[in-house]
Chains A and B, each alone.
Chain A
Amino acid sequence: MQRLSEAAVKQINEICDRHANDKTPLMMILSDIQKEYGYVPVDVQEIVSEKTGISVAEIYGVVTFYSFFSLKPKGKYIIGCCLGTACYVKGAQQIIDKFSEILGIAPGETTEDGLFTIDALRCIGACGIAPAVTINGTVYPKMEVSQVPKVIEEYRSKEA
C-alpha cells in the first residue's frame, strides 16, 4: 500500500465511493480506474478490495478476464489491430507483425518511451473495411503493410 501515493489512494477511494450504491459496483469501479490511470495494478486492487469487501483474488480474476483492463500501464497511443476472421484472411497478421517489428514490442506490450501499446483484438465489427486498425478511436481502414511506418511516424511527429 505504501507503494501508492496518498493522493492516488484518495482518488481510488473516491472512485469506489462514486459507485457505492450500485448493486454490482466492481465493473464500474475498475472501468473508471482503467480510464483515469490507464491500468489497474494489484496494489490498487487491494484498496478496491478493502472498500468493497470483494476479495483481491476475485478482482484480479475480473481484471485478467476482460482485455479492456490492464495490469501494466498502457502507452499513450493504443494500436488495436483486428485479428478477427475477415481481417485475418485479408492479411492482418502481417500488419500486426509490421507494427511489432518497427516498435520492437510484442502484442500486449508497451514501448519503453510509453508512447505505444499494441493490442491484438478479436473482431471489432468492421469486416467491410478489413484489415482494420484503430489508434485511440481513429479507424484506419483497409490497412496495408506499406502504410504502417507512415502511421507510426504520424504519431511520433505529434510528440516531437
Chain B
Amino acid sequence: MSLINIKIEGIPYQVESGITILEAARQCGYDIPSLCTFNHGQCSQGSCRVCLVEATGARGLVASCVYPVAEGMEIRISSPKAVKARRTSVELILSNHNKNCQQCAKNGNCELLHVAKLTGARENAFTGTKTPTTYDEVTPSIIRDTSKCILCGRCVARCQEAHGNGILGFENRGFSTIVGPAGNRSFADSPCLLCGQCVSVCPTGALMEKSEITKIDEAMAAGKHVIVQTAPAVRASLGEEFGMKVGTPVTGKMVAALKRLGFDKVYDTNFGADLTIMEEANELLARIKNGGTLPMITSCSPGWVNYAEYYYGDCVDHLSSCKSPHEMEGAILKSYYAEKNGIDPKDIFVVSIMPCTAKKYEKERPALTTNGLKDVDVVLTTRELGNLIKRSGINFAKLPDEEFDQDLVGTYTGAGVIFGVTGGVMEAALRTAYFALEGKEYGPVNFTEVRGFDGIKEATFVLAGKEIKIAVAHGMKNAKPIMDDIRAGKSPYTFIEIMCCPGGCINGGGQSYVRPALLPNEELDILDTYMAKRAAALYSEDERQTLRQSHNNPQIQQLYAEYLGEPNSHKAHELLHTTYVKDRVRFK
C-alpha cells in the first residue's frame, strides 16, 4: 500500500492512497460531520451531502465519503463555504423529517440529531410538503416510521448483507421514495425475520423495537409475582448503555440493578440454556440411535426459525423440537417453580431481557404456552433494560456486584453462558454429548474449532468411535447453502447450529447501538472489533465458572430427578418442546 501526501487545514499528513477523504481525515484526527459511520467512512451513495469539504483538484465541494484522496490534495473542512454547505445539507434533510425528538426513542443515539448539532442546523430553515408517512407497528418486534427515515439505505444494505435475500428496499421515486418491505407492506405481511439488524444500523428513529416497559409496570401494579431472567449476551453489552467500553462484562451490576427494580426474582436464562442442552443433546443422540431426521439443527434463534419456516418449510423436521432457553425457563417457572413455591401460575409474570427483537415475537407464538399460559409474558431488549435502569435513577457504574437468585432454577454452568455467541450452542452441546457418548468429560473442555466469526464453520469429531460432522452458520446468507444441501439430500452433517444474526446473539438486534460517531472513546475500527470484544466477555465468564458442562448443573439434575424424569421424557416434551409451521405465507 503506497502512502501519499495530503494537507488538511494546511497541515501536511501522509495517508494510504485510495481511501476516501472522510476516512483519511479520521485517521489524521478530524471527524468530518457525516452520516457515514456505517462502514469505514465509505458510502455507496454519497447522496446526503452532509460531509462536504473543499478539496483542491475538484470542482466545487466534494462529498468526502465517496471522494478519494490524491497526491498533493489540500483539504479544507472548516472553510466558511464548506461549513455553510454542510449546514444546509442537514437542514434540507430535516425539512422532511418528523422533528418530535423529545418523544423519539432514538434520542441519545440519533446520528441525525448529532450532525444537526455539529453543523448548527437551524430549526425549520426549510419548510414545505412532507412525504406521506407509513407507521407500521403491527408486529410485536419492530416499528417502522417513515416520517423519521432519511433514506440512507443502511437498513437495506444490512438486511441484504446478513440474510442474502433482504426484505427491505427503496420504493417509488423522487419525493415519494420510501424504504420498506415490497409494496410498503407491514413487516407482519412480509417474510421479515424480525431480527432487528435494521434497527441496529438505522441512524434515526425510523426503525425501532416495540417497547414493552409499561407492561411490566402494569404487572407490578397488579401485584403479580414478577420474575426476570437475562440472556447471556445482555451482560456483554449492557454496560455500553452507561458509557462503558464495548465488551465490558457487567453481570454483577446488572443483577444488582434488576434487584433494585422491584422484581421478585432475578434468574439467569443460562439455567434455561443448560436445560436446552440436556434436551437437545439427548434429542440428537436419540435421532442418531433411532434413525431420526438428520442433520438436526438448533432452534434457539427465533429469527432463524422464522427463516426456516418462510423459506424451507419442507425442512422444518430438521429443526430440534426444543423451545429456546428463555421459553424453557418460562415454562419451568410456571410449572415446577410455581408448584414448589405454592404460587398460582396465573399470578407469575415472566420478563425476559434479551439481545433480540425477534424474541418479542417468539413469545407470542401459540405453540409456546404451558397449560394455556404464555411461557414468557414480556421481552425487553438490552437497550430497553438500559432505559428502565436510567428511568429508576440507578447509578449503574456505582452499583456493587451481586449474585443471581440461587434457589431452584438459579445455578448455571459456563456452557449456558456461551450460548450468546456463534458456535456457543454447538460447543455446549458437544461438551454434554461427549460425556454421554464417551462416559467422561472432554479433557480440554473447550471445542475451539467452532469459535470465531467465519460465516460457516465446519468440524469433524470422533465420538464413541463414530465420526460426527458438524457445522455452525450465522446470518441467513450463510444458512442458505447449508439448507439447500439438506433440501437436495446431500448434507454431510449430523448436527448444525444456526443463529440468525451475524456473530450470534452478542450482535443481536436488541443490543446496544455501536455508533462510532457517538463513541469518541472507542478505537476507529470499533465496527470491526465490537463483536469479538463482546464474545470475549462471554468466553471469560465461561472460564471463570467451576461448572462448565450443562449436565453438571446440580439444579438441572434435581429438576430431572424430582420433576421431569429423563431428558425427552413425556413431561419434558409437554413443557420444553414445540412445533413449527411448514407452510408460512411469505407475502400476505
Enumerate chain A interface residues (CB-CB to B < 8 A): 42-43, 45-46, 49, 53, 55-61, 64-65
Contacts and interface: CB of A to CB of B under 8 A. Distances in A.
A57 B586 contact: no
A55 B165 contact: yes
A49 B311 CA distance: 13
B546 interface: no
Interface of B: 156, 160, 165-173, 181-183, 586-587
Contacts of A59: 182
A43 B183 contact: no
Contact of A43 (B168, B169, B170, B587): B587
Given A57-B182, A59-B182, A49 B165 contact: yes
A49 B168 CA distance: 14
B587 A61 contact: no
Contacts, number: 40
Given A55-B160, A57-B181, A46 B169 contact: no
A61 B586 contact: no
B172 A64 contact: yes
- The DSSP consensus for interface residues of chain B is mixed
19 contacts: A42-B182, A42-B183, A42-B587, A46-B586, A53-B165, A55-B160, A55-B166, A55-B167, A55-B169, A57-B156, A57-B169, A57-B182, A58-B166, A59-B182, A60-B171, A60-B182, A60-B183, A61-B171, A64-B173
Contacts of B172: 64-65
Contact of A46 (B160, B170, B587): B587
Contacts of A57: 156, 166-169, 181-182
A132 B315 CA distance: 58
Nearest to A57: B169
Contacts of B182: 42, 45, 56-57, 59-60
A58 B159 CA distance: 12
Nearest to B169: A57
A60 B182 CA distance: 6
A49 B166 CA distance: 11
A59 B182 CA distance: 8
A105 to B, nearest CB: 20
A60 B587 CA distance: 13
Given A42-B183, A46-B587, A56 B171 contact: no
Contacts of B169: 55, 57-58, 60-61
A55 B156 CA distance: 11
Contacts of A49: 165
Nearest to A45: B182
